[in-house]
Amino acid sequence: MTTVEHVQPGHQTAEMTARAGRPARPRRRRRGLLTTIVWYLLLLALAAVVLYPLVWLFFATLKPSSEFGRNSGLLPWEPTLDNYARVWDGIAGIPLWRYGLNSLIVASLAVVGTLGSSALAGYAFARVAFKGSKILFAAMIGTLLLPFHVIIIPQYIIFNQLDLLDTYVPLLIGKFLGTEAFFVFLMVQFIRNIPRELDEAARIDGAGHPRIFWSIVVPLLRPALVTGGIFSFIWTWNDFLGPLIYLTSPENYTLPIALRLYNDTTSTSDYGATVAASLLSLIPVLLFFLIFQRMLIRGVATQGLKG
Amino acid sequence: MASAALLLAGCGGEPAGPSADFDPNAPVTLDLAFWGNDTRAGFYKNAIAKFNEKYPKITVNSTFLPFPEFWEKRQIEAAGRDLPDVMQFDYAYLRQYSQNRLLLDLKPYLGKYIKTDGFTESTLGIGVVNGVTTALPIGTNAWAMFTNTALVTKTGAGAYPGGTSWDEYATWMGAVAKAGGGSVWGGTDPTGRIQNFEISLRADGKNLFDDAGAPQFTKAELAEFWGRGAQVRGTGATIPTKRLLEVAPKSGFGAGLTTSELTWDNFGAGYAGDLGADASGLALTAPPVTKAGAKDLYLKPSMLHAIAANSEHPEASALLVDFLLNSQEAGAVFGTNRGLPASSTHLAGVKLDPLSQKILDYETSIKDRLGAAPPVPVVGYGSIEEKFRQLGEELGLGTVTVEQAVDQFFSEMDTILKK
């Protein structure tokens, strides 16, 4: 153990400096204060640059549609709450909250499906010895390279023949069946870092795979599950192409599609309602992130430390 | 990808004609797809309710999306041979879908399920591809010039009379810009739009593309056209491209920065919405003339209706198309939301608002300049049009020379046409 007494000559501890350099203290503090102020100003300026679009978006929700294009400044010339009123009225007779609810249902179920299936698949790849596991793992990683556009047509044909179009099944079934290779890979890597001795001890106590998975791996997997859950929620919440292709009835649309409905370049576009609805649609994701961000950072940090 | 998918989907059998034992009172469910906004969705809802008063057993499920997403979804559905029974259709995609036999041959249904009395011979011919009628026009529009009379008056400059030479139009734009003092301009560089190039070609009796889809213009002709824009680009007569990019997605005209714009005559409601003003300050005049007495303008379908070849209920679909195209009831509901109606029986039901009246008057006023419509656009026309617009923008920004722009356009066009 290193103690203060063992400090090499020439290396001063903070305590020693403070004791020895008493007269120098005010100068140091002033310099420290000055540096802090400069840093704060710099950071505030950077924060202003980064947050400006969000602040602009907020004020833009108070601009009448006709002001867009003419007033690119921050403050509206003639502030109005009409945009929010129109958003409240909804589109095609369907209120905006309905689209939000649809998105929430799809995103929540996607989180449940993704986490459940990828944790199970991850456990199988990391802990269960079975024939062809290496080839299957390589194939799964290979699917990460496939662009969505390549598989979309065959998938569409299958769901059409199964008569599942205009339901949420095509959007969710893959997530429940562990087809999200990224999340499976995340779990595999995490489980590989959990000491095998824990499993072996459990096995001696008579536990089988289900028990080891549920009682040992899942509790230790929590950081990875939280990280996966947040990404899965945000990606599904923002997904546009999947709902566009599989959902037909306007009352089933999710929020990203509903937001696009305000703008049709071939007829009239409602820019005011678009920005108001965009701001409102940011709130759930922002809340989700604020609630879980600590766990997200902890999850990512834990992953970094392992291995 | 989408075109390959369409090719794959085009291998279906020959379409059968209408069934002899069709009963309009048998329960049937149809899918109807259209592009548009909330307002148009409301109109369709009302029109379907009126249709159901006549045919209560035909259930119509409607779906709508904005224009780009509408086509993205259709491309996937086409690959799966699962297009909606009845579709609002766009001229630019007509050749592609027709050639791949994705659309129903309407001929056996014309006269029997879809009345044709309201259409003229030429409007009926609009939706014919390779001799097969695969779509019928909902409305027609023509290339025109919108002017914002209220804004012109505000600057103190005189109004544009319409139908002058291009040089006179440029002079007028310069006068407005001078009076506007750097906050209002006379217009946008007209050489940035392919339609202005098209009407210049048509003045010489040519079209952009011939029947076989080959371009009817040379590099030199395009270079000469884009070169002509130099007289207004950067002289301060037209709005700087940078300013236009700042106000996008609104146009300079919609943002109240320019006093004139060449576009399709049914864009007035959109402009009025963008300007936040009533449309009374908008005027429609004829575009500048390239050659006196030339038949350079033509009527184009603003949109069409088509039935999918994969529809299981072609007769009921045809009845719905007939109602949406021809009935006075539907006319009363839609007004001119989908363009000035092509069918006279549909038009009879329309209560013309002042702006629609202006469009009708405009289309009547250009009768002498209207020539035969060009062949149905080539496959990929939308991409060609967009490339032309992008290069026009780059010319405005000064990032390419006219020669470079011409080379880039021809190489892009060759790639698209060879596909």
Residue-level pLDDT at A299: 59
Task: Please report, for residues A227, B116, B129, B343, the alpha-carbon distance to residue A193 in angstroms, rounded to integers and kept in the order given.
Answer: 16, 74, 64, 72
Residue B104 pLDDT: 96
This model of the complex carries an ipTM of: 0.79
Q: Is the peptide bond before B108 cis (omega within 30 degrees of 0)?
A: no
Round to whole Å and give the CA distance between A249 and A237: 19
Both tokens of residue B6?
């369409």
When pLDDT is averaged across residues A120-134 and rounded to a whole number, the result is 93
* pLDDT value for A21: 47
pLDDT at B11: 44
Two structure tokens written together for A132: 């062809």
Q: What is the 3-state secondary structure (H, E, C) of chain A?
A: CCCHHHCCCCCCCHHHHHHHCHHHHHHHHHHHHHHHHHHHHHHHHHHHHHHHHHHHHHHHCCCCHHHCCCCCCCCCCCCCCHHHHHHHHCECCECHHHHHHHHHHHHHHHHHHHHHHHHHHHHHHHHCCCCCHHHHHHHHHHHCCCCHHHHHHHHHHHHHHCCCCCCCHHHHHHHHCCCCHHHHHHHHHHHHCCCHHHHHHHHHCCCCHHHHHHHHHHHHCHHHHHHHHHHHHHHHHHCCHHHHHHCCCHHHCCHHHHHHCCCCCCCCCCHHHHHHHHHHHHHHHHHHHHHHHHHHHHHHHHHHHCC
Residues B38-63 pLDDT 10s? 888 989 999 999 999 999 999 999 99
B28-35 and B58-65: which strand pairing? Answer: parallel
Q: Furthest-apart CA pair in chain A: how many Å? A: 84
Residue of A191, A293, A192 lying closest to A234 (CA atoms): A293
Nearest to B246 among A72, A245, A248 (CB): A72
| Three-state secondary structure call for residue B174 | helix
pLDDT exceeds cutoff 60 at A8: no
Mean pLDDT of A44-58: 93
Q: With a cut of 70, which residues of chain B have pLDDT below it?
A: 1-16, 278
pLDDT value of position B34: 95
CB of B84 closer than 8 Å to CB of B31: yes
Cα B302 to Cα B139: distance, rounded to the nearest angstrom: 5
The chain A residue lying nearest B45, using CA atoms, is A92
Tell me: pLDDT of A263 over 80: no
Is the pLDDT reported for residue A91 higher than 90? no
Q: Which residue of A has its CA nearest to B79?
A: A153
Q: Exposed e or buried b for every residue in B1-23, given b needs 16+ CB within 10 A?
A: ebeebbeebbeeeebeeeeeebe
DSSP designation for B258: B
Q: For B302, name the nearest residue in chain A, comparing CA atoms only.
A: A266
Give the pairing type, strands B128-129 and B260-264: unpaired
* CA–CA dist A231, B74 (Å, integer): 30
CA distance A72 to chain B (A): 8
CB distance A296 to A226 below 8 Å: yes
pLDDT for B227 equals 94
- CA dist A232 and A183 (Å) reads 9
Q: Which residues of A touch B255 (CB under 8 A)?
A: 68-70
The encoded tokens of residue A236 equal: 């599904």
CB-based contact, B36 to chain A, within 8 Å: yes
Q: Which of A247, A283, A260, A281 is nearest to A172 (CA)?
A: A247
User: Contact at 8 Å (CB) between A183 and A225?
Assistant: no
Q: 């309009």: which residue's tokens? A: B24
Check pLDDT > 60 for residue A13: no
DSSP B47: H
Contact assignment for A267 to B61 by CB distance below 8 Å: no
Token digits for A57? 């978006």
Percentage of chain A beyond pLDDT 70 is: 85
Residue B153 is predicted with a pLDDT of 93
Residues facing residue B129 across a β-bridge:
B132
pLDDT at position B125 is: 87
pLDDT at A47 over 70: yes
Lowest mean pLDDT: which of A212-226, A266-280, B247-261, B391-405?
Answer: A266-280
Q: Which two tokens stand for residue A137?
A: 């793992």
Answer whether A44's CB lies under 8 Å from A35's CB.
Answer: no
Planar angle of CA B192, B198, B204, nearest 5 degrees: 130
Query: Which pLDDT does position A265 carry in this prediction?
Result: 61
Residue from A66, A96, A161 to probe the interface with B (highest B Cβ count within 10 Å) = A66
Q: Global pTM?
A: 0.81
Query: Does the distance separating the beta carbons of B247 and A70 come in below 8 Å?
Result: yes
CA distance A26 to chain B (A): 52
Of B67, B79, B254, the CB nearest to A153: B79
Q: What is the pLDDT of residues A149-176, one digit of tens each?
A: 788 899 999 999 999 999 999 999 999 9
Cβ contact, residue pair B67, A156, below 8 Å: no
Q: What radius of gyration do chain B's Cα atoms show?
A: 22
Interface mutation vs chain B, best among A153, A161, A241, A253, most B CBs within 10 Å: A153
- Burial (0-12, 13-18, 19+ Cβ within 10 Å), A75: exposed
Q: What is d(CA B11, CA B33) in angstroms, rounded to the nearest whole number? A: 23
CA distance A73 to chain B (A): 11
